[in-house]
Chains A and B, each alone.
Chain A
Amino acid sequence: MIRVRALEKSYQDLKVLKGVEFEVAKGSIFALLGSNGAGKTTVVRILSTLLRADAGSADVNGFDVAAQPARVRESISLTGQFAAVDEILTGRENLVLVARLRHLADPGKIADDLLDRFSLTEAGGRKVATYSGGMRRRLDIAMSLIGEPPVIFLDEPTTGLDPEARIEVWQAVRELAGRGTTVLLTTQYLDEAEQLADRIAILHEGRIIVNGTLTELKQLLPPAKVEYVEKQPTLEDVFLTLVGKDKR
């Protein structure tokens, strides 16, 4: 579904990508893991036709990003690092706008269905400026689903979210993959990749240094030792129990 070959990109003298290669199978969740500045966003920007690669090639849904950018844009949806929603419009107006820009029939119904699916029906008539971070990100993802593109890029979808909101986003992502959408996720949170991804690749110093399932990655290290440890609740467990919304 996504195929990246020998991708290179420099900003002036800084070589960000030095031959990145990976493939993502249809309907799977692929996590691109890396520290800040590793080049994850650059990969996503190239795949979503916002940036040109210096060398190498990339196919999305069978279309080359450099040669057929319009076809690629029909196949994808991008949810950026900072929720790209219009603050002055209401949630519903944001959804209607995207539906109109995707040239779909009955944008109003599409908007109402998505508001319902992402539990935003009540907030739908309010300006997005009044939304919490989690609601905003849910709206952002809902906007990405309009037109049911076969491939979705989620660039650090949970950065800056509180634990509850993260879990909401995770549920939305799982649901997506359940419906057959191919998801490329970038994240700097290891637990996020662990929770969601079918395959995980680590981008480091411009190259993919490992790529495999979670089990495969774990086998790279010496076999697990058996140790007896007192089970302490994590701070996350405490937080979620106290605020009473443990949805996991």
Chain B
Amino acid sequence: MTRHFFGDTTALLGRSLRHITRSLDTIITTTVMPIMFMLLFVYVFGGAIQSGSDSYVSYLLPGILLITVASGIAYTAFRLFLDMQSGIFERFQSMPIARSAVLWAHVLTSLVANLISLVVVIVVALVMGFRTSAGIGAWLAVAGLLVLFTLALTWLAVIPGLTAKTVDGASAFSYPLIFLPFLSSAFVPTDTMPGPVRAFAENQPVTSIVNAIRDLFTEQPVGSGIWVAIAWCAGLLVVAYAFAMAVYRRKIS
């Protein structure tokens, strides 16, 4: 069965990528909220925020990118949910294919869709004055971190996608993820926050990822911070993957 894994995944990936290219509105709605946040914070609140950085949009962008991914993966759960509901999932499962290919196709599609959204948001940020002197290496590191983060959240999204009873249930899990960056260093430096909030903000994954990306963009030494960021993403990825596969095996047996 596994000998067809790559061929089957490719065939199914082609299918779900067509879903993306034929409903580009999902990409647009994914990027609207992060772009709105960016406009709001740069042009409304930004003047009053002491970020300690020359350009607030440059300070803000890393957090906005994480919000983009968090809102994008809601669609991954939604698409998977629709496949479960429509019966096409069962059709695939009753065929002689590598069974995990069905999930992998959704995961890879999520990755592609989120990368497109991220590019859109970065272009808007450039228009708004985001500048970086980061070289190829730093950009690749940023891309790598974002891919890892997207994969981790995507596998997390697979769980509600497989188990939800309603459309709302399939996408509601992403709201706390979207708001997690607000309790981090994404919008304001954490040293302005009162004790317990600050303790939470400085020890949650978003802060380490945001700081790592920010350092890469501003060509600061990333130090050990980037390893904390990678560890968070990789840890979340492993746990989410294990849970998702356990749910999946229960669904199909």
Chain B residues closer than 8 Å to A74, beta-carbon distance? 96
Chain B residues closer than 8 Å to A100, beta-carbon distance? 7, 11
Chain A residues closer than 8 Å to B224, beta-carbon distance? none
Do the beta carbons of B11 and A84 come within 8 Å of each other?
no
Q: Mark A112-129, 1 if CB is under 8 A from B, else 0.
A: 000000000000000100
Chain A residues closer than 8 Å to B87, beta-carbon distance? 80-84
Q: Which of B14-22, B65-73, B147-155, B180-188 contacts A (4 or more CB under 8 A)?
A: B14-22
Do the beta carbons of A80 and B90 come within 8 Å of each other?
yes
Q: Quick check: is A78 within 8 A (CB to CB) of the other chain?
A: yes
Task: Report the interface size class on chain B.
Answer: 20 to 34
Do the beta carbons of A89 and B18 come within 8 Å of each other?
yes
Q: Quick check: is B53 within 8 A (CB to CB) of the other chain?
A: no
Q: Give the docked Cα–Cα distance between A101 and B97 (Å).
A: 6
When C-beta atoms are compared, the residue in chain B nearest to A87 turns out to be B86
Do the beta carbons of A97 and B11 come within 8 Å of each other?
yes
Q: Mark B82-94, 1 if CB is under 8 A from A, else 0.
A: 0000111011111
When C-beta atoms are compared, the residue in chain A nearest to B253 turns out to be A52
Chain A residues closer than 8 Å to B90, beta-carbon distance? 45, 50, 78, 80, 84
Do the beta carbons of B18 and A70 come within 8 Å of each other?
no
Chain B residues closer than 8 Å to A83, beta-carbon distance? 87
Chain A residues closer than 8 Å to B86, beta-carbon distance? 82, 84, 87
Q: Mark A87-124, 1 if CB is under 8 A from B, else 0.
A: 11100010001101111000000000000000000000
Q: Quick check: is B95 within 8 A (CB to CB) of the other chain?
A: yes
Q: Quick check: is A76 within 8 A (CB to CB) of the other chain?
A: yes
Q: Quick check: is B8 within 8 A (CB to CB) of the other chain?
A: yes
Known A-B contacts A50-B252, A86-B15, A100-B11; A76 and B94 likewise in contact (beta carbons under 8 Å): yes
Q: Give the docked Cα–Cα distance between A206 and B49 (Å).
A: 69
Q: Quick check: is B4 within 8 A (CB to CB) of the other chain?
A: yes
For the complex formed, measure the closest distance between the CB of B124 and the CB atoms of chain A, giving whole angstroms.
27
For the complex formed, measure the closest distance between the CB of A213 and the CB atoms of chain B, giving whole angstroms.
29
Q: Mark A33-64, 1 if CB is under 8 A from B, else 0.
A: 00000000000010011101000000000000
Do the beta carbons of A80 and B22 come within 8 Å of each other?
no
When C-beta atoms are compared, the residue in chain B nearest to A101 turns out to be B97
Find A84's partner among B15, B23, B91, B253 (CB 8 Å cutoff): B91
Q: Which of B23, B96, B97, B252 has the most CB of A within 10 A?
A: B96
Residues of B within 8 A of A (CB): 1, 4, 7-8, 11-12, 14-15, 18-19, 22-23, 86-88, 90-97, 252-253
